Structure 1
Amino acid sequence: TRIILTDSTPIRVLESCTINWDFTANNKGIEGLEFITHQGSGHSYLLGLCEVNDCDPKSTSNNNGRILVREKKEATKTRKENCFKEIYTIIKTFSVICSWDPVGTLVIPSAVHFDDYSSSSMYHRKENELPTHVAVTSQVMSQVWVDMIEEINQAPFFSLSPLNNNTIYALPRTHIVTSECGIRYGNIEGVAWQGRNELIFVSDQAKNDQGTQCIEKEQSYAIRISSHQFDDKIRIDSD
């Protein structure tokens, strides 16, 4: 769906397109979605982060993250068909909607051991230039993985380029030993870039079986992490 947002006008829906993907579970699907334009071709794409490994709720893996790449196919012009009914003609009008069709999949490196994938965010440089940073979070692991994404000239038209071997960052832990290994931020559901060197996170409602350390940070602006360069030492600040 395309929207326009200004300071003085409400959100307006300009266009709605179907995504060609069969979801095999009612509550497991795409958890992160990014719109991106390929600078070389000018084509528009959606990058959809699968919530589970292998994009399959039945998967037992913990290191097969996937990002679906979908290319936009523009709506065709409205067409009219003449249907002859005895002595008169009925004109039927058909509106063919646009769609996001599969062109490939980005494979998150197997060194990233996440049990789930809860959100993603790309740092949008001026005019959406690539390469740029991409961040992917895990709610279960309470971690964030930072990488680089760049353009290529063949399907799936984008690729992930690991910065180094140390691009997974654990969010702050407690000093109390719990069944969640001291996790404080156990419900990270959103991540966004605040400039080139800072990420902010928001948290979902805590689950009934989670400890008080998770309830304390539920449904809130959680933390920010910042660094001079993400391939250098990172600093994590708790708010």
Structure 2
Amino acid sequence: MIREARLRDLLPAGSPSRLEASGVVAADGHYLVVCDNLRAVAVIDADLSRVAANTLNPTGPGPGNGYEDIARDPVTGHVFLLVESAERDGGHQARVEEYDESFRFVAAGWLEYPLPRPNKGIEGLEFARRDDQVYLLGLHESGGLLVFRPGRRNWRHVATVDLPAGLPLADFAGVSVAGARIALLSQESAAVWVGELAPDKWAATGPGRVRRFPRGYCTVEGVCWLGPESMVVVSDRAKRDSRPARCREKEESLHVLDLDDLSPAGPVNPAGPR
């Protein structure tokens, strides 16, 4: 790891002690972090040391106890906060809230894709522009990477990214796209798949590669590219009843890493999600 720190050590006194980190983006020398137990956005200086300058910005009331991921439009500075699943018309869909660069509410809308149950929803979110069009990419826990375009009020599902068959990840927990580069994070496999997207269609251009996190990084949840071979990752809280004690060493933390420091991984679950 290039550097890492516990989130509770990076936020001002009086901030919540439980910080179930679930998503991160890098912007203007800061990391914007969301937690799935807080309706707020943490703004953390990228050097992970200037604690006094860091803030926790509440977003106000709304569905869900927190956010599953965060995406950002680099042109406007607006951020998009993902509510994994909420009730709608007798079923469940994910919901996205848009805020401006000062975290003032702009709009909210549904990701129009049916979800089987409340806790099996959209786990990751990314913002993209192609051919002067705006898109959101929603990473379904088991259904793949979904492409949404803005409609009159909500976000319409218009495509599903063609990923390599038999992608060796046991689940999907986070997504980041930078140019042609794409990273898909798996918490269960403690691994990240790195590939490239075609410029003219929603498809990966090859098999990519999988890298495994070191022992103890059991709860990796959100990811954002920093450069061609570097990224920032956040870790959730380890479940006390199902995770070994060693998983608590790296929980609720922010990690800046170089891909070369991760081990090449063989197949984890060849029959897993596409």
Aligned equivalent of 1:134, options 171, 182, 190: 182
1:4 corresponds to:
100
- The structure that has the greater radius of gyration is 1
Query: 2:162, 2:202 within 8 Å by CA — same for their partners in 1?
Result: no
1:83 corresponds to:
none
- Give 1:216's aligned amino acid: E
What is the RMSD of the two structures over their aligned residues, measured on CA atoms? 1.9
1:114-162 per-residue CA deviation (whole Å, 9 max, x = no partner) reads 1211111112xxxxxx4x211111100000000111332xxxx422112
Q: How far 1:49 sits from its partner (Å)?
A: 0.6
1:101 corresponds to:
156
The separation in 1 between residues aligned to 2:234 and 2:154, in whole angstroms, is 30
Aligned equivalent of 2:210, options 168, 171, 178: 168
2:140 corresponds to:
50
Q: How far 1:108 sits from its partner (Å)?
A: 2.4
**Runs (5+) with no aligned partner, structure 1:** 56-65, 76-97, 124-129, 174-183, 227-233
The separation in 2 between residues aligned to 1:102 and 1:212, in whole angstroms, is 40
The separation in 2 between residues aligned to 1:23 and 1:163, in whole angstroms, is 28
1:210 corresponds to:
243
Mapped pair 1:186 → 2:249? no
The percent identity for this pair of structures is 29
1:74-107 per-residue CA deviation (whole Å, 9 max, x = no partner) reads x3xxxxxxxxxxxxxxxxxxxxxx2211212113
Q: Please, what TM-score do these two structures have when normalized by structure 2?
A: 0.56
Q: What is the number of equivalent residue pairs in this alignment?
A: 166
Asked which structure has the greater RCO (Cα within 8 Å, sep 6+), the reply is: 2
Q: Go from structure 1 to structure 2 and tell me whether the alpha carbon gap of 1:140 and 1:223 turns closer, same or farther (over 3 Å shift).
A: farther
Q: Stretches of 4+ moved more than 3 A in 1?
A: none
- Give 1:190's aligned amino acid: G
1:231 corresponds to:
none
Q: How far 1:188 sits from its partner (Å)?
A: 0.6
**Runs (5+) with no aligned partner, structure 2:** 1-96, 264-274
1:142-195 per-residue CA deviation (whole Å, 9 max, x = no partner) reads 00000111332xxxx42211265xx1001112xxxxxxxxxx111011111122
Query: 1:112, 1:168 within 8 Å by CA — same for their partners in 2?
Result: no
